[in-house]
Structure 1
């Protein structure tokens, strides 16, 4: 259900972005926002696919097709790769916004399209190859069954920059009201990411250092994972709440 809501919500955001690019009425077509939305959409697709499959999993896995199925769906490999890629993308988005607000001249002169393209590409490629290496080692099929080792993910805590936005405005910085609103929106996106990912990461950390000695796949594990999954769903609602032009474009679409 969370995955399907995420597919619908992020699909609407991408549709709004496409329309706004044609009409040139929105700042939402920033490449980093597009990238974040696309990754949240893909994460939602694999979230839905993974748990729809788990409702009626393949009973017997054999050969290469069985291993691929074990890695991609049974072991939740692609789901966690794209959830992690979404986290990388959010780091890139926050970094780009930070440079634009705190160092606007440097951003204008040095933050070229090529550098943006590298950051965007890294948000897809780094999590994929980094986590794939662990997944391939930790996942296998034996006697027609899928065996996989759960793996953890890094939590990036993204610092709020409201004070810098205010200082830039007071010092005559080149920050418009619309840009400030976008920054506040991205701060809220970052804060929600930290809040929603924190329980699962703290639980995993407590487990690996021995503070928690119970069964790892406990009820708390599944509850914290569900909270983490909602991060792929929440951003469209944040855009609808904080950005008036986004609401206007949605109303035009429907």
Structure 2
């Protein structure tokens, strides 16, 4: 997440090549996540609860990357190709509140993290509490949960609407960043760090730990009982799926950590603040690198699916090549079976 927009009252100047790289990253992310949606919705054997949740995650990541493209082309001084200034004052208010304020960026970032939490929750119930899966995770309840996730994501991002206002200058869209109260950046920094980063990572890490413990116990029990190969294959398939989702979580932690630490340290100080580094040119480039890593998390998920998710690779071949015929080996598709 770009923190220099909050820390500096001027348009960010991070270098033309850096800005172009960020825009290119957004384009790749949009195309990759769009491909995930296309493959899962197109191929019938991928139509199940977990994959539908992956589509919802891909939509959040795709919108986040799309916002990155518009921010680069419209807002960043070094590579913007559209000098957009709304003609009406109401248009200026809407533009400034939603785009330069980073409201949309944060809302979509929340949605991405919390949708991954929903996927983790679905796998947790399916593996740790399989007998309760059908009763607890009905289609209606999951739709309500997804709707709540999106509502909460936009609700938690509301404070960023109050960081910038429309400009009275007819040639300028937005005024300088202003906080309604000196404690505002401190409270926003604490709240954002806890709710957008620490909370989802803690919940998902705990859930995956419980899932791994359960899967190891099931595999050990099946070995001791000399269970049928189909039952053991089910456990192995679940382990592979959880391994793929754990990699997704690990990528999120690695790619988000530096950006959130920088955000936490710099948002809690005022502009003259205790940390002079936050207002330096070096920090602007460091922030740009962190921002690239942050958005790369939304780009890398389709790549992880391609290398780690066998069913997605099969679906990709079917979706992209009409002449491809999957060889039927008479095995049951057990990779996503909840029980």
TM range (shorter): 0.7 to 0.9
Which consecutive residues of structure 1, in runs of 5 or more, have no partner in the other structure? Answer: none
For the aligned residues, what is the CA RMSD? 2.6
Q: CA deviation at 1:117?
A: 1.6
Matching residue of 2:168:
143
Distance 1:61 1:226, change over 3 A: farther
1:123 equivalenced with 2:149 (yes/no): yes
- The alignment of Structure 1 onto Structure 2 pairs a total of residues equal to 251
Please report the TM-score for the alignment, with normalisation by the length of structure 1. 0.87
Q: Distance in 2 between matches of 1:211 and 1:202?
A: 16
Does the 8 Å CA contact 1:50/1:73 hold for their aligned counterparts?
A: yes
The equivalent residue for 2:135 is 109
- The Cα of 1:50 is off from its aligned counterpart by 1.7
CA offsets per residue over residues 164-218 of structure 1, 9 Å max, x none? 3222333358954333222211111111111111111111223327884423462
Q: 1:194 aligns with which of 231, 244, 253?
A: 253
Q: Is the 8 A contact 1:43 1:82 kept in 2?
A: yes
Flag the structure with larger Rg.
Answer: 2
CA deviation profile, 1:141-181 (whole Å, cap 9, x unmatched): 13334234686532032314333322233335895433322
Aligned structure 1 segments of 4 or more residues deviating by more than 4 angstroms? 25-29, 59-62, 149-152, 172-175
What is the alpha-carbon distance in structure 2 between the residues aligned to residue 25 and residue 226 of structure 1? Answer: 31
Give the corresponding residue for 2:123: 97
Q: Which of the numbers 69, 84, 89 marks the counterpart of 1:48?
A: 69
The equivalent residue for 1:221 is 287
Unaligned runs of 5+ in 2: 1-23, 179-184, 223-230, 322-339
Q: Deviation of residue 65 (structure 1)?
A: 0.5
Match for residue 238 of structure 1 among 304, 315, 318: 304
**Residue matched to 1:249:** 315
- The normalised TM-score by structure 2 is 0.66
Aligned to 2:217: 167
Greater displacement, 73-82 / 142-151 = 142-151
